[in-house]
Amino acid sequence: MDVLSNVLETIHIKGALYFEVEAGQPWVLVNPPMNLIGSFMMPEVEHVIPFHIMLDGDGWAKSGDAQMEPLRLETGDIVMFPMGSSHVMTSNIDNWHGVAVDASFYQQTAAKKHPFTVVKIGEEGKRSKLVCGYIGFNAKPLNPLLETLPEILVVKEHMSKDGLMQKLLISTLDEMTKCSEGARNIVAKLSEVIFTQALRQHMENSTELDQQSWLTAMQDEYIGKALIMIHQEPYKKWSVALLGKECGMSRSSLAERFNHYVGQPPLQYISRWKMQLASKLLSDGMSIMRVAEHSGYSSEAAFQKAFKRHVGMAPGEWRAKRQMHNLS
């Protein structure tokens, strides 16, 4: 089973491309945090991740966290800011001074029928071209990706010349410039593919396989197997002892290793994931009673109580909120 794909499907991942940036050196691109503009870009989701594709040229990027070192960007690279933090990109590592565009600009852009804008920045020097987009998904009740990604993520040469992703992006940009009716759907799917492939490459290139991270947990011989079994049969009556037996570990060893990588005990992870699945079923229109039965609860009241504890709102309120966003 592909656990990553299973998670991405369940958290309702969505994507959007809004800006093609033509930059002449020297240039500085200042981006506000997503808690200021995310609701304009993607009002139907809970968490928004901005990303930038260096289609042609080079530069530097850093997050709003002044303690982090800037990272080099080259043609074909993708940089993401998973925490939705403010960030700056520049052609000159010694120049980070710039002014962020007012939030109203993003609001006006997103409100257009075909929200795609070409932006020109910088001076008349060497040209660079960037494409800026947004990935959105639900953060509650359990989004293991959100809890494990770094402040800044650079995937090298993801848009390498003549590669499949390069061709997909060029095709998408062409559709957007035509303002075709299907452009939004194409853009959304491309963004999802970019995000998924970026995560896979990040996992493959990771050298810190012992750090606390859901992505590294999937690569661990034992915990990776445990996660596969949980996601294959989330409604099975799992116990730590049973999981340990299936993974070839003692109960205590499995609990300790799982908690080290995933950051929470196995049964807590299972409970939260079952609520994530329940939230998707509610969003898709299933009745609360049927969701409660599907999730293995003895009564609707018990399910309602558990759902509110994990999600922070009642199932009916959650469903109404999701449906309202889908209609907007």
**Higher per-residue confidence, 95 vs 208:** 95
pLDDT tens readout for residues 104-114: 888 888 877 66
What the chain holds in terms of domains, given with CATH numbers, is: 3-205 (2.60.120.10), 215-327 (1.10.10.60)
Cross-sheet strand order for the sheet of 59-63: 28-31, 87-90, 59-63, 71-73
User: In this structure, are residues 93 and 56 in contact, taking their beta carbons and an 8 Å threshold?
Assistant: no
- The proportion of the chain whose per-residue pLDDT surpasses 70, expressed as a percent, equals 87
Q: Is the pLDDT reported for residue 162 higher than 70?
A: no
Alpha-helix residue ranges (DSSP H) falling in 178-314: 183-205, 214-217, 223-232, 240-247, 251-262, 266-283, 288-294, 300-311
Strands 87-90 and 28-31, sheet pairing:
antiparallel
pLDDT tens readout for residues 39-77: 888 887 888 999 998 988 999 999 976 677 899 999 888
pLDDT tens readout for residues 194-240: 777 777 777 776 666 556 778 888 888 899 999 999 999 999 999 99
pTM of the complete model: 0.78
Residues making up the chain, counted from first to last: 328
Q: How far apart are the first and last CA of the chain?
A: 34
